Structure 1
Amino acid sequence: MSAIDIRKLNVVFGDYEDRNHAVRDVTIAVERGESYGLVGESGSGKSTVLRALVGLVPEWSGEIAVLGEQQKPGPRRSHDFHRAVQMVFQDPYASLHPRHTVDQVLTETLRLHGLKGVDARIETLLDQVGLGGGYRFRYPHQLSGGQRQRVAIARALAPEPQILLLDEPTSALDVSVQAEILNLLGDLRRELGLTYLMVSHDLGVIGHMCSRIAVMQNGALVEELGVERMRRLEASHDYTRHLLDSALRSVRGGR
């Protein structure tokens, strides 16, 4: 049984002349313990796939199963789903309440899921994300962007999930900090046996984090390939080759 099984997913926004077919017949299967990447330019539909999965898209058609549990359109998800699946958003500056300390953010999440031993669990979470107890009573404005994203990751880990959905988790961070967060996420996946479904427009990020990659264009999945094929530039689809060429030009231009 796959951790995530999505079949012929379609998402349409608007009606008549305003109709936007955001996701078109997307089928992917993410195995347990795998890190799977969705890549494509802005507007390709990759983030909409994540939002449909967690219930943030009101209407869709197709099939979505998570850990064997079939999901339905709309916001209703079981308590087990919310414990098993957590999401790390793009912007750490927007995802934390500005008037809540790190302690309050984590305490609220732990209590929401009915977990005991809150004090000890908070200390463990902060250690897991490389912050330590000294950050426990700080406010978001007292943290750097990378530290805020570490808090967001700690919050996602609080209910002891099996799956993390990562929506451009480093794109709002300075380049110098991005590698630290990616390495942290890689370490956590190995240590905790997590499954990742990661969205990014950056092939370098996806190549660093994921073993398999699905390329999206205009709402459709145009190619799926392993990371080794990607590194050897063995893409079959013209759009994938375009993305790889653009990534190579960007790297060469930065040297």
Structure 2
Amino acid sequence: MLNVDHLDVWFGKPPEVFHAVRDASFHVAEGESFGLVGESGSGKSTILRAITGLVDSWSGKIEVAGEAIHGRRRSKGFHRTVQMVFQDPYASLHPRHSVDRVLSETLKLQGMDDIDARIDRLLAQVGLGSGFRFRYPHQLSGGQRQRVAIARALAAEPRLLLLDEPTSALDVSVQAEILNLLADLRRDRGLTYVMVSHDLSVVAHMCDRLAVMRAGQVVEIMDVATLRAQAPADQYSRDLIAASLGYARS
């Protein structure tokens, strides 16, 4: 579903260039859930932004469902295949747009018909009833806003979801609900996930494999069993696990 090969991402122009990602390579199989972990500033979210076209200063190869993408431009078909859920559900929703408008505009942009019925189905799929349809973001809790953001991403009927710290802005009591929702959606829809997280317990729960990043580089790719056993090959990966607050071996 996703191939990233020798990806470099940079910001600025010579002589002041910052290389956010250096020579990153990994692949994600269809139906797999793949994690990107590492310290803040390690380049995790930058990779997602390069995939979606939010960053255009990159080189290397990115392929989605066998189709190579280039620069910043993305086809309409790309956005039918790939959608992204951002970290802050309040910032990613227009404060003056109702849930109905958020979802209906997305559906119309994707050329969907039967808008009313689709909105009701989307709300039901993310655990919100039709009573939420005409509410505004300020009338919703953080968890409810993130459910709307997930519904908006699902409106395009994508195959690949990019999840950028989807629960880190939420209360701990709500995080598990959103993670379980995402796990159920992946199973029911056959979705592929790429999840950025600083929380290794989240990755252990949600992902099949993960890449550990440090200073823009992928230092190791491992399966989740290796993470749970706290037995990675790379010393930095071992140090990251040891320093990860809240990580509990399962």
Equivalent of residue 168 in structure 2, options 162, 168, 171: 171
- 2:86 aligns to what? 89
Matched, 1:199 2:196: yes
What is the letter of the counterpart of residue 96 of structure 1?
L
Query: Which segments of structure 1 move beyond 3 Å, counting only runs of 4 or more?
Result: 249-252
Q: Distance in 1 between matches of 2:100 and 2:14?
A: 48
**Does the CA contact (< 8 Å) of 2:199 and 2:247 recur in 1?**
no
Q: Distance in 1 between matches of 2:124 and 2:200?
A: 30
User: What secondary structure is seen at the aligned counterpart in 2 of 1:38?
Assistant: strand
Q: Distance in 1 between matches of 2:192 and 2:56?
A: 25
- Length-normalised TM-score, structure 2: 0.97
1:12 CA drift (Å): 1.6
User: What secondary structure is seen at the aligned counterpart in 2 of 1:125?
Assistant: helix
Q: Distance in 2 between matches of 1:228 and 1:70?
A: 31
Q: Distance in 1 between matches of 2:168 and 2:66?
A: 31
Q: C-alpha offsets along residues 167-194 of structure 1, whole Å, 9 cap, x if unaligned?
A: 0000100011001000000000000000
What is the letter of the counterpart of residue 142 of structure 2?
G
Q: Distance in 2 between matches of 1:12 and 1:112?
A: 31
Matched, 1:67 2:65: yes
1:18 CA drift (Å): 2.5
Equivalent of residue 241 in structure 1, options 233, 238, 241: 238
The within-5 A match list for 1:128-147 is: 128-147=125-144
Q: C-alpha offsets along residues 101-160 of structure 1, whole Å, 9 cap, x if unaligned?
A: 100100000001110010000000000000011111111111000000000000000011
Equivalent of residue 20 in structure 2, options 19, 22, 33: 22
Matched, 1:120 2:106: no
User: What secondary structure is seen at the aligned counterpart in 2 of 1:19?
Assistant: strand
User: What secondary structure is seen at the aligned counterpart in 1 of 2:90?
Assistant: helix
1:17 CA drift (Å): 4.7
The within-5 A match list for 1:201-240 is: 201-240=198-237
Q: Distance in 1 between matches of 2:239 and 2:246?
A: 12
- 1:190 aligns to what? 187
Instruction: Report the RMSD for the aligned CA atoms in angstroms.
Output: 1.0
Structure with greater helix share of residues: 1
- 1:45 aligns to what? 43
- Length-normalised TM-score, structure 1: 0.95
Q: Any stretches of 5+ residues in structure 1 without a counterpart?
A: none
Q: Any stretches of 5+ residues in structure 2 without a counterpart?
A: none
What is the letter of the counterpart of residue 238 of structure 1?
Q
User: What secondary structure is seen at the aligned counterpart in 2 of 1:215?
Assistant: strand
User: What secondary structure is seen at the aligned counterpart in 2 of 1:23?
Assistant: strand
Among the aligned pairs, what percent are the same residue?
64
